Amino acid sequence: MKVYIVGAGPGDPDLITVKGLKILQEADVVIYADSLVSEELVNRSKPEAEVLKSAGMTLEEMVDIMEARVREGKMVARVHTGDPSMYGAILEQMVLLKKRGIKFEIIPGVSSVFASAAALQAELTVPDLTQTVILTRAEGRTPVPEREKLKDLASHHCTVALYLSATLVKKVVQSFYDAGWEPDTPVGVVYRASWPDQKIIRTTLENLEQDLRDNGIRSQAMILAGHALDPRLVDSEDFRSKLYDPTFTHQFRKGV
Ligand code: SAH
């Protein structure tokens, strides 16, 4: 038996992977972050499963439970919001589990960055505009390494996705300006992407702070910035990929 570290997806219970759902339905023990994983999803675990909320536990308490249950021959699902690899604090769990000789497996999930791109109906990598997405966060109480300062990352003028940053927009906007971004650069913000109370805000760098304040958004929001978020792109024919270009030859099709 082992511990499954499962990505629950961004909120909508149908956005867990098929594999993740199967594990959740089979697990004897389910541990989840109550504020961010939907109850409806957790309720899909089997009726006799032991369901525990992680919010009140310390890391050691949580790993003690995981270890004890696995040693009893039980299957444990540790359910994380979005994809576990993004700001999931799973490394510290894996370090302790490994030290104690408990096996684990990670099942990926739909990160909020992708649920937010879907809500905004955006392609984050638009041909001839940008081919790169930077996933990062603003520096708050948790420090960001010096060589990853937002100003430096933003100097690439690619798409930038900001987790955990809704209360730090003043700093965020300044960093983009310091990197030479124009005040009218498009920004999309999605609050609680894929939840019933999802909110979508299309704005610009200069209006970002005001628009978040007007909408009372201080947490659970994904900020996506860059020209790929321009809502006018969907009405333009300038950004065709080579893949479906009639004149372009590739492995599966001969160009004309
Ligand atoms: N592992 C998660 C991220 C956890 S950190 C993932 O892959 O999505 C928590 C941050 O993720 C929040 O501050 C917010 O920026 C973002 N987030 C999580 N769920 C979200 C959602 N449904 N909509 C928008 N942003 C979300």
Q: 38 CB less than 6 Å from ligand 1? A: no
In this predicted model, what pLDDT tens digit does every residue of 2-46 receive, in sequence order?
999 999 999 999 999 999 999 999 999 999 987 789 999 999 999
Q: 116 CB less than 6 Å from ligand 1? A: yes
In this predicted model, what pLDDT tens digit does every residue of 81-118 receive, in sequence order?
999 999 999 999 999 999 999 999 999 999 999 999 99
The strand ranges marked E within the chain are: 3-7, 29-32, 50-53, 76-80, 104-107, 133-137, 159-163, 186-191, 199-204, 221-225
Average pLDDT over residues 197-221: 97
Report how far ligand 1's centroid is from the alpha carbon of 163 (Å).
6
Q: How far apart are CA 212 and CA 45, in angstroms?
A: 36
Both tokens of residue 60?
A: 């050691």
Report how far ligand 1's centroid is from the alpha carbon of 28 (Å).
27
Q: Tell me if 121 sits within 8 A of 234, measured CB to CB.
A: yes
The superfamily (CATH) of domain 3-107 is Tetrapyrrole methylase, N-terminal domain (3.40.1010.10)
Helices 90-99, 59-71: inter-axial angle, 10-degree rounding: 50
How many CA within 13 A on the CB side of residue 157? 7
* pLDDT higher than threshold 90 for residue 241: no
Q: Which atom of ligand 1 is nearest to the CA of 86?
A: 1
DSSP state of 253: B
Q: 112 CB less than 6 Å from ligand 1? A: yes
Average pLDDT over residues 209-218: 97
Report how far ligand 1's centroid is from the alpha carbon of 67 (Å).
28
Q: How far apart are CA 104 and CA 98, in angstroms?
A: 8
Residue intervals of the chain classified under CATH 3.40.1010.10 are 3-107
Residue intervals of the chain classified under CATH 3.30.950.10 are 112-235
Q: How far apart are CA 71 and CA 30, in angstroms?
A: 16
Identify the bridge partners of residue 121 per DSSP, sorted by sequence position: none
Q: Look up the pTM and report it.
A: 0.94
pLDDT band at 205 (very low <50, low <70, confident <90, very high): very high
Q: How far apart are CA 132 and CA 130, in angstroms?
A: 6
Both tokens of residue 28?
A: 């004897």
- The neighbour count for residue 56, using CB atoms within 10 Å, is 8
H helical segments located in the chain: 18-26, 39-42, 59-71, 90-99, 112-119, 150-154, 169-178, 208-214
How many CA within 13 A on the CB side of residue 131? 3
Q: 136 CB less than 6 Å from ligand 1? A: no
pLDDT band at 254 (very low <50, low <70, confident <90, very high): confident
Q: 221 CB less than 6 Å from ligand 1? A: yes
Report how far ligand 1's centroid is from the alpha carbon of 112 (Å).
5
pLDDT (0 to 100) of residue 107: 98
pLDDT band at 161 (very low <50, low <70, confident <90, very high): very high
> Cα(first)–Cα(last) distance of the chain, in Å?
56
Q: 82 CB less than 6 Å from ligand 1? A: yes
Q: How high is the mean pLDDT of the chain?
A: 95
Pocket test for ligand 1, best of 199, 220, 223, 224 (most atoms within 8 A of CB): 220
* pLDDT higher than threshold 90 for residue 246: no
Average pLDDT over residues 106-133: 97
CATH assignment of 112-235? 3.30.950.10
